[in-house]
Amino acid sequence: MNRYIFSLLFLFLAGFIYPQTALQRFINNPALKHASVGVSVVELESGKSIAAYDEEKSLTPASVLKLITAATALEVLGENYRYKTEIAIDADDPSRILVIGTGDPTLGSEVFPENPDAFFINGVEALKKSLPADKEYSIYVVDNLFGYNGISPEWTWIDIGNYYAPGAYGISIYDNSYRLVFNTTDRNNPPRILRTEPEIKGLTFQNSLTLNSTGRDNGYIYGAPFSYERSLRGDIPGGRTEFSIKGDIPDPGLLVGETLADHLKRTGYRIVKVETSRVDYLSRNRSSGQPVPYRVGNVLFTQVSRPLKEIIREVNMESNNHFAEHLIRTVGRRGDSNIYSDALEEGIKQILKHWDEIGLDTTPLLMYDGSGLAPQNAVSARFLTDLLVYMHNRSDCSTAFFQSLPKAGQEGTLQNFLRGTRLNGKVMAKSGSIGGVQCYAGYLIDGNKRYAFAILVNKFNGTRPEVRSAIEQFLLGL
């Protein structure tokens, strides 16, 4: 009997202690000696804790925050939600063409295989069927749905102006980014600017770029939203007839209007003015009582986006900041349709409200954007695993959420994570990394082991590859 009891006790302890041993090895890794670490691993069906360390501590999640944005968007909007962008005629002025945005981040996006100019090509064909070409027209772009605070006030200067941190507005085009093309063959002078793709009229650059011989792209574009003055710093490879870096489009709504005007002019139309609703927006306030300066008449063309589940997949698979920022503002406008309220702030309120109503403890969650770029964002590992368990077990959009996550060793931002190990393809997760931050959160499904996990590491002293390796070894030890 004693031997039987001992055997049962040994089996129990072997199953319970081993993950804790793997956890202890992870915590004691020299690369994490001075780091702040939060870990939560729970059984997927029951939510029972398997391994935990400071799981209630709020830490910077970087792009892991996108899990919260994506999950909330699916919950609030539904996986089949589609954005619409319309071209209409002003009911009070038949010579004015309206372009009405609803926040679609995919218009002209290179993410999907459609022709990026399809909106303009198809829109012009629709206009030609209804508008005579022997008159003068103006274009008015309604891009005010999210207001004009398109970036988080907590983003750092090193990010603002670069392609991965574009503003999010009621109209988006070409991922709100452009390519700046250089000739770098003259190693004795700064790289020569050739053009922008697409052309952005009036955009100027203070060029402080230098050339390197390493072949690495260390070039950055700095500039504030709606400013057409940009600064170029860092270094880019020399010896190239063409080399490009990417920046954010200063005023996407205006570029949409100007591009539509160019397409119409090529077919014989006379466009005498292009403007956006920004001027009217800035001249008003929420209590002014002034009427909207247009009235939607006949809608001639509607561009419909891909369903939300495909947009969410791009957010989580490739960590698309631009799409995530549009999603949080779309959620915000669902809760408050007043265009004079801050759409980002409203989105954060709606996220907290939604998960409070679900029953999750949101006190560890501090959000300043939807993408995770703001270093001030914070969340606990336990909140993340609670959300992951809910999305897997209870959400109506469970499948869409699960399928949006890249498989370790195979896809997206996890292509090299756990590659060649027994967990290759068995971990579906979101990664997150900014300066001094490395995080992963998602699902581990390996036979009878079915876990939700979140691993947050801040202010590590080792190298990033060392931290990634330590996280891999911890997951392999579960």
pLDDT of residue 288: 53
Give SS3 for 330: helix
The answer to whether 73 touches 85, Cβ cutoff 8 Å, is no
Sheet with 177-183: list strands edge to edge: 192-197, 177-183, 243-248
263-317: pLDDT as tens digits: 999 999 999 999 999 988 877 655 555 567 899 999 999 999 999 999 999 999 9
Which of 4-13, 220-229, 368-377 is least confident?
4-13
Q: Region 232-245: what's the mean pLDDT?
A: 96
The tokens describing 257, both together, are 């209007």
pLDDT band for 146, please (50, 70, 90 cuts): very high
Q: Given this model, what pLDDT does residue 283 score?
A: 77
Q: Residue 12 above 50 pLDDT?
A: no
Question: Is the pLDDT at 240 greater than 50, yes or no?
Answer: yes
* Residues facing 315 on adjacent strands: none
Instruction: Write down the pLDDT at residue 95.
Output: 96
Please give the pLDDT value at position 11. Answer: 38
pLDDT digits (tens, 9 = 90+) for 46-59: 999 999 999 999 99
DSSP bridge pairs for 457: 37, 438
Residue type, 141: V
Buried-state track 213-240, b at ≥16 Cβ within 10 A, e below 16? eeeeeebbbbbebeeeebebebbbbbee
pLDDT tens sequence across 221-236: 999 999 999 999 999 9
| Helix pair angle (464-476, 2-27), 10° resolution | 170
What proportion of the chain, given as a percentage, has pLDDT over 70? 94
Q: What is the pLDDT of residue 2?
A: 54
Mean pLDDT of 195-217: 96
Digit-coded pLDDT (tens) for 414-434: 999 999 999 999 999 999 999
Specify the pLDDT at position 280: 87
Q: Distance between CA 379 and CA 435 in Å, rounded?
A: 17
**pLDDT classification of 220: cutoffs 50, 70, 90:** very high
- List own/partner pairs for 342-349 with CB under 8 A and 24 or more apart: 342/147, 342/149, 343/145, 343/146, 343/147, 343/149, 344/146, 344/149, 344/152, 344/369, 344/370
For the record, the structure tokens of 67 come out as 């899990």
As a whole number of angstroms, the distance between CA 473 and CA 239 comes to 42
* Residue-level pLDDT at 328: 98
Q: Is 171 helix (H, G, I), strand (E, B) or coil?
A: coil
How far is the C-alpha of 140 from the C-alpha of 261, rounded, in Å? 11
The pLDDT, as a whole number, for residue 260 is 98
**C-alpha 313 chain-centroid distance:** 11
What stretch of H or E contains 113? Answer: none
Residue 477 has pLDDT above 80, yes or no: yes
| Close Cβ partners of 106 (under 8 Å, ≥ 6 residues apart) | 83, 112, 172, 305, 306, 311, 323
Q: Over the stretch 132-145, which tens digit does the pLDDT of each residue have?
A: 999 999 999 999 99
CB 290 within 8 A of CB 211: no
Strand partners, 39: 53, 455
With 0.85 as the threshold, say if the pTM is over it.
Answer: yes
**Residue 285: per-residue pLDDT:** 54
At 305, the amino acid letter reads: S
> Which H or E run contains 210?
strand 210-212
